[in-house]
C-alpha cells in the first residue's frame, strides 16, 4: 500500500487541553511533520494513548489527521480491541473517517495459549475489511507476539498488507521476512533498531522520535537506501537512540509530549490517566537530550 518512496510514518501523540482532545494542536503537529518530510501518519496508536480515548474521540482524531495530512500521505489508523466485532466496527469507523488502512494488535488481557488462537482472531477481524490491514506486533504491552507462522498465513489474505513490528527482536523480524511475499510491508516500530531493521530488509519506519527530529529519521532511512553506512549509523546512534532511550525510560506518550512542549509545538504535555508525566528532574533530562540531539541532527 505504501509507495516505494515512503521512509517514515509518525505514530502521533494525541494532544489534550484541560482533559479534552486538542484538535487544533493535533492538526498543527501533523502539518509541521509533513512540512519537515514525514511521509505518513498513524493516529490512535500506542503513543497516541488510544486506550484512553472514547470511540467518538478516536474517530474524531482520525478525521483531524486525515484533514491535516497532505494529499497522498497515507494515514494508518489504530483499530485495536479485544472483541472481534468491536475491532471490525473500529476498522469500519476509521475507514469512514478517511483512513487509508488500519492497524490492529493481538487480543490483550487474555493471552492466547497457541499461535493458532491469534490467527483465528485476526482471520475473523480482517474478513471483508473495507481497507487494508497492518498487523501490529507489540508483545511488551499485549504480553504475546504475533508468531512468524501466523504472519505468514495472514499474509496470504488480500486485506492484510503488512506488519508493524515493535518487538525489538530482529531474529523474529528476519523470520517473518523469510516467510512473507516481497510486496508484504514490514515496518520497524522499535526506533532503537530502525537502521539495523532496514538493513535486514524492513521497508520503512513508524517512529515516535520523528516527532522531534523528523529530518534525521527520514535521512537515516535515505542513508540506508543509499548505502551510506556511516551516515546511517551516526544518525541512529547519536540522534535517534538518545531520544528512544528517553521514551523507553519515561514512557513514549509523556516523554514525546514533553519534547514537543519544549520545542513549542504544543502548549501542554498533558496525558490521561493511568499515564503520568515524567517528574521535573526527568523532564530536564529529556529536554537536555532534545537540545543535544537537535544540534547533532543538523551536522
- Rounded CA-CA distance 257/280 in Å is 14
DSSP string over 90-140: HHHHHHHTT-SEEEEEPP-SS--SSHHHHHHHHHHHHTT-SS-EEEEE-HH
Residue identified by cell 480515548 is: 53
Please give the DSSP secondary-structure letter assigned to residue 158: T
Q: Is 164 a catalytic residue?
A: yes
Which residue is catalytic, options 134, 136, 250, 257? 136
Of 164, 199, 250, 257, catalytic: 164
Q: How far lies 211's CA from each of 11, 108, 130, 191, in Å?
A: 8, 27, 29, 12
Measured distance CA(65)–CA(51) in Å, rounded? 18
Active site residue 134: no
Report how far apart, in Å, the C-alpha atoms of 23 and of each of 26, 47, 65, 286 are. Answer: 5, 16, 9, 25
Q: Which residues are catalytically annotated?
A: 136, 164
Amino acid at each position: 500500500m505504501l509507495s516505494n518512496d515512503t521512509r517514515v510514518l509518525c505514530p502521533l501523540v494525541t494532544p489534550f487541553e484541560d482533559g479534552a482532545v486538542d484538535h487544533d494542536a493535533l492538526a498543527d503537529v501533523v502539518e509541521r511533520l509533513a512540512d519537515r518530510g514525514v511521509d505518513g501518519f498513524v493516529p490512535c496508536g500506542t503513543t497516541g494513548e488510544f486506550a484512553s480515548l472514547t470511540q467518538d474521540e478516536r474517530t474524531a482524531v482520525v478525521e483531524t489527521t486525515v484533514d491535516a495530512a497532505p494529499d497522498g500521505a497515507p494515514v494508518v489508523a489504530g483499530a485495536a480491541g479485544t472483541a472481534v466485532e468491536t475491532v471490525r466496527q473500529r476498522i469500519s469507523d476509521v475507514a469512514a473517517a478517511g483512513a487509508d488502512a488500519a492497524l490492529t494488535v493481538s487480543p490483550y488481557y487474555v493471552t492466547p495459549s497457541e499461535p493458532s488462537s491469534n490467527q483465528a482472531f485476526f482471520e475473523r477481524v480482517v474478513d471483508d475489511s473495507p481497507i487494508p490491514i497492518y498487523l501490529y506486533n507489540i508483545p511488551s504491552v499485549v504480553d504475546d507476539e504475533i508468531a512468524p507462522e501466523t504472519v505468514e498465513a495472514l499474509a496470504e489474505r488480500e486485506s492484510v498488507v503488512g506488519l508493524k513490528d515493535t518487538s525489538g527482536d530482529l531474529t523474529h523480524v528476519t523470520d517473518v521476512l523469510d516467510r512473507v511475499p516481497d510486496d508484504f510491508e514490514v515496518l520497524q516500530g522499535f526506533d532503537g533498531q530502525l537502521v539495523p531493521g532496514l538493513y535486514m530488509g524492513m521497508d520503512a519506519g513508524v517512529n515516535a522520535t520523528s516527532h522531534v527530529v523528523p529530518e534525521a529519521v527520514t535521512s537515516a532511512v535515505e542513508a540506508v537506501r543509499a548505502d551510506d553506512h556511516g551516515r546511517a549509523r551516526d544518525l541512529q546512534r547519536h540522534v535517534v537512540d538518545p531520544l528512544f532511550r528517553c521514551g523507553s525510560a519515561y514512557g513514549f506518550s509523556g516523554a514525546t509530549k514533553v519534547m514537543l512542549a519544549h520545542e513549542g509545538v504544543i502548549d501542554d504535555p498533558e496525558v490521561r490517566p493511568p499515564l503520568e508525566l515524567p517528574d521535573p528532574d526527568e523532564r530536564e533530562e529529556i529536554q537536555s537530550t532534545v537540545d543535544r540531539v537537535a544540534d547533532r541532527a543538523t551536522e
